[in-house]
Amino acid sequence: MRHRSGPTRRVIRQAGFGVVSVAEFATLARPYANAAFDVAKSAGRLDEWSRGLNLLALASEDSTLQTVIALPMTTAPEKAHKLIELFRDELSDPVRQFVHVLAENKRLSLLAEITTQFEVRRAEEARTLDVEVTTAVPLSDAEQIRFQEILERRFEQQINLTTGVDETVIGGAHIRAGDTVIDGSLRGRLAKLGEAFARS
């Protein structure tokens, strides 16, 4: 009689973790990848973090270094120092601090997966445009959806829409998309008209 086996669970073995599933490994890495991305984005240093993380990820996959990371007698600061010293001036201070955080939390083995997830978010960010829409009264959910659809067609990008309220906006809306400003409010049109009269 043939026995039907259940679904196969892919597993990987990493220093410090024993055998875990791919999904579990990704879950462990996610908060660190998200934290690194958020810090890099807020500082406007995504490229710098990307270079540093990719160097570290490459080094972390070396079998000799994996053995050092797994040694229980090696302290967390020592592990972080050994990894950082491989690249010396090629890592920024924030990235170096991140390595120390990973070492303290025994998560250096996650570097390759953290880097992969960081790069996924970086690619998504490159395809997303932050847009702020300001109106005199709050937009309804339906109006926000409509604005997003129109703007995504206009800019041919995914839109991260935020809304604001300014009672001095008379009719229409004031839209800021990256370096582009679209003033469709009556106040904006009146201001332009005033400038035209001033120049005449």
**Four-CA torsion 58, 60, 61, 67, nearest 10 degrees:** 150
pLDDT, tens only, 38-83:
999 999 999 999 999 999 998 888 888 778 777 888 898 888 998 8
CB under 8 Å to 52, separation ≥6 — which residues?
A: 87, 90, 91, 92, 95
The CA distance from 177 to 81, in Å, is: 42
Pick from 25, 26, 44: nearest CA to 122:
44
Structural domains of the chain in order of their starting residue, each with its CATH number? 11-124 (1.10.520.20), 127-199 (3.40.30)
186 falls in which pLDDT band (50, 70, 90)?
Answer: very low
- The angle formed by the CA atoms of residues 47, 65 and 100, to the nearest 5 degrees, is 55
pLDDT, tens only, 108-122:
989 999 999 999 999
Q: How far is C-alpha 84 from the geometric centre of its chain's CA atoms? A: 23
pLDDT, tens only, 5-17:
444 344 444 444 4
Question: What value does the mean pLDDT take over residues 26-34?
Answer: 94
The CA distance from 96 to 84, in Å, is: 7
